Amino acid sequence: MKRFDYLCDPRGRALNRIVELRIAPRFQMPLIVLTAAVVTLMAVYGIERHRRLEAGTLVAAYRVELQRSEIALRRAKVRDQQIDRLVLLDEHVTRIERSGDLESARLVLLANRLPRRSWLTSIDDESSAVTLSGRAIDLNTVGAVLARLVQNSPFANAMLTSANIDPNLHPQAYDYEVRSEVRP
């Protein structure tokens, strides 16, 4: 009599079939080696793929950080340039403040030397020379300006470079320009 087991375990059947599969003994060792090599290659491939994905994520994060750093560097450079400009401006203002006493004394000396009926319109100060521009009522006053600049003053070799009648002024006045060297 035959017995039928209706409650069979399907796992056991698949395992039995694999075990029942007969492989010639000469192919068993190469098949085991081939299977181990394939499993090893798949493991290495999986590890490398994981490492590449992780490296790609790190590269993307470093690129974002690099962009942030570049933006911060540009901002720092702009601030550095602004600071440099402010330092130069501060040095310039400090030089002006320090030279104020000397310049005011020089301007007082110059103003005291000008004759009546003459005035200055501009002073162009260069390193070793000064160009004075002004107006005078007549030519005699222009001559007096030149003569007084030469007498006992810090100005040497004063030279009249131009004297013209300004037709727009009533009464007429002369525009003059005197160039002089500054004595040390």
> Domain residues of the chain, as ranges?
25-113, 115-182
Q: What confidence tier does 15 reach under pLDDT thresholds 50, 70, 90? A: low
Angstrom distance (rounded) from CA 161 to CA 149? 14
Give the per-residue pLDDT at 79.
94
Per residue in 167-178, pLDDT (tens digit) is: 777 677 888 898
Over the chain, what is the mean pLDDT? 83
Sheet of 173-182: strands edge to edge?
A: 118-125, 129-136, 173-182, 155-166
Query: Which carries the bigger pLDDT value, residue 158 or residue 154?
Result: 158
In the predicted structure, residue 10 carries a pLDDT above the cut 60: no
Q: Is 157 helix (H, G, I), strand (E, B) or coil?
A: strand
Q: Sort strands 129-136 and 155-166 into parallel, antiparallel or unpaired.
A: unpaired
Give the pLDDT score at 83.
Answer: 95
Q: In this predicted structure, what is the pLDDT of residue 120?
A: 84
Separation of alpha carbons 182 and 47, rounded Å: 84
Quick one: average pLDDT of 136-153? 83
Task: Using the predicted structure, report yes or no on whether residue 161 has a pLDDT greater than 80.
Answer: yes
pLDDT-derived band at 90, boundaries 50, 70, 90: very high
Distance CA 181, CA 126 (A): 9
State the burial class of residue 141 (Cβ atoms within 10 Å of its Cβ: 0-12, 13-18, 19+): buried
Top mean pLDDT of 28-42, 116-130, 135-149 is at 28-42
Across residues 16-32, what is the average pLDDT?
Answer: 74
For the segment 140-160, the average pLDDT, to the nearest whole number, is 80
